[in-house]
Amino acid sequence: MRRLRAVKDKTVRYFMLGIAIFTILLLIVIGLSLFFKALPIMKEKNLWVLLTSADWKPFKGDFGFLPFILSTFYVSFIAIIIALPFSILTSIYLNSYASKNVRRFFEPVVDLLSGIPPVIYGVWGTLTIVPLIADKIAPGFVEFSTGYTVLAGGVVLAVMIIPLLISIMLEVFRSIPKEMTDASLAMGATKWQTVKKVILRRSVSGIIAATVLALSRAFGETMAVLMVCGNIAQIPHSIFDACYPLPALIANNYGEMLSMPSYESALMFSAFLLFIIVVLFNGLSRFTLNQIERRYQF
């Protein structure tokens, strides 16, 4: 009887250890298999050419990823520029000013915003943002725009990353010891001065980490962006041009790629590219955030 219990305990322990190792390995396996799938195209073409050429003619064998890489960056940066002020202001408000009731009311708002599926954001974008840009905003700047633009992608993405930014920034603000803000308030500083001189100054690295994390989320977002940004393989010259980010490229072409090995490899190359960027960005910002969390723990 005693032995049986011990054996059971041991079996379970090894089973768990196996799962733990599997979880760490999964990351490596994903990276490696995407790499090997992308290898044929990297062998066939110069890596530098792949990244900097703007020619995208898969059926002629030209695979230049520059339009897609630039599109991804443009859309994501617009999203960050829009989302950052809203997120910082709202999280400061929730952290330092709002009453308990307001905070309790806002938690599900943030939850819901992060829970709404990308495809719903896409539907919302096509129904509201796209016509708004085509009819109201773009005519003021350019002659004609369909509305399916870099700007539309940026706006939709901005709304999608706001909940992530807010929840991480709130955590960062919370890690600042209350004694510090209390000391500032006791010296006669107003709340806003305390926010400016204590909270924000203490949180610079955290805010940067949150931004990088949100940026990497924006890079990989597929469906919502795909539905509103036009999907034309060109280098966008203004925010009223259509664009074609990397994830949209993968999503749109999966069906036809099977017929051409180099095309399939090219698409896997873009998945690999996304993987590398996201892992790098995520790793850096998670590391920073973990450090911040530990900073005031004694």
Partner 1 sequence: MKHLEEKIFKVIMICAAIIIFGVLVYIITTVFYRGLPALSLDMITKLPGGGFYLGKEGGVLNAIVGSLYIIIGSLAISIFISVPLVMYINFYLPAKSIFSSLIRFSLDILFGIPSIVYGAFGFALMIFLGVRASLLGGILTVAMLIMPIMMRSFDEITRLLSHDLPDALLSLGATKYEMIKVILRQLMPGLVTAILLAVGRGIGDAATVLFTAGYTDNIPASLNQPAATLPLSIFFQLGSPVEEVQNRAYASAIILTVIILILSFSARYFGSKFSKHKI
Interacting residues with partner 1 between 124 and 153 (CB under 8 A): 124, 126-128
The smaller minimum CB distance to partner 1, of residues 91 and 149, is found at 91
Which positions from 245 through 264 interact with partner 1, judged by CB under 8 A? 247, 250-251, 254
Shortest distance, position 240 Cβ to partner 1, whole Å: 22
DSSP 175: T
Taking CA atoms, 264 is separated from 45, 56, 129, in Å, by: 14, 14, 33
Specify the residue, 173 or 219, whose C-beta has the smaller distance to partner 1: 219
CA dist., res. 249 & res. 226, Å (int): 9
Answer yes or no: are the C-beta atoms of 195 and 96 closer than 8 Å. Answer: yes
Shortest distance (Å) from residue 173 CB to partner 1: 13
CB 89 to partner 1: min, Å: 4
Q: Is 24 among the residues that bind partner 1 (CB under 8 A)?
A: yes
Q: Which residue from 54, 185, 235, 278 is in contact with partner 1, where contact means CB under 8 A? A: 278
Determine the size of the site formed for partner 1 (CB under 8 A).
82
Q: Is 217 in the site for partner 1 (CB under 8 A)?
A: yes
The correct pick among 17, 81, 142, 183 for binding partner 1 (CB under 8 A) is 17
Among 71, 149, 181, 222, binds partner 1 (CB under 8 A): 222
Per the CB < 8 A criterion, the answer to whether 260 and 29 are in contact is no
From 55, 81, 135, 190, residue interacting with partner 1 (rule: CB under 8 A): 190
Distance CA 38, CA 266 (A): 6
Location of structure tokens 């924006």 = 218
Which pairs count as long-range contacts for 137-140, CB under 8 Å and 24+ apart, including other chains? Answer: 138/240
Please name the residue that has the structure tokens 């993987």.
275
Compare residues 141 and 254 and give the one whose CB is closer to partner 1. 254
Let me know if 179 is exposed, middle or buried by CB neighbors in 10 A (0-12, 13-18, 19+): exposed
Strand partners, 243: 230
Smallest distance from the beta carbon of 8 to partner 1, in angstroms?
6
The region of 52-60, 132-140, 142-150, 286-294 touching partner 1 under the rule CB under 8 A is 286-294
Q: Using the minimum distance from each CB to partner 1, give the nearer residue, 237 or 259.
A: 259
Provide the angle, in degrees to the nearest 10, between the axes of the packed helices 246-253 and 66-92: 120
Q: Under the criterion CB under 8 A, does residue 8 sit at the interface with partner 1?
A: yes
177 in Cβ contact with 190 (< 8 Å): no
CB 54: neighbour CB atoms within 10 A? 14
Site string for partner 1, 73-112 (x = CB under 8 A): ------------xx--xx-xxx--xx-------xxxx-xx
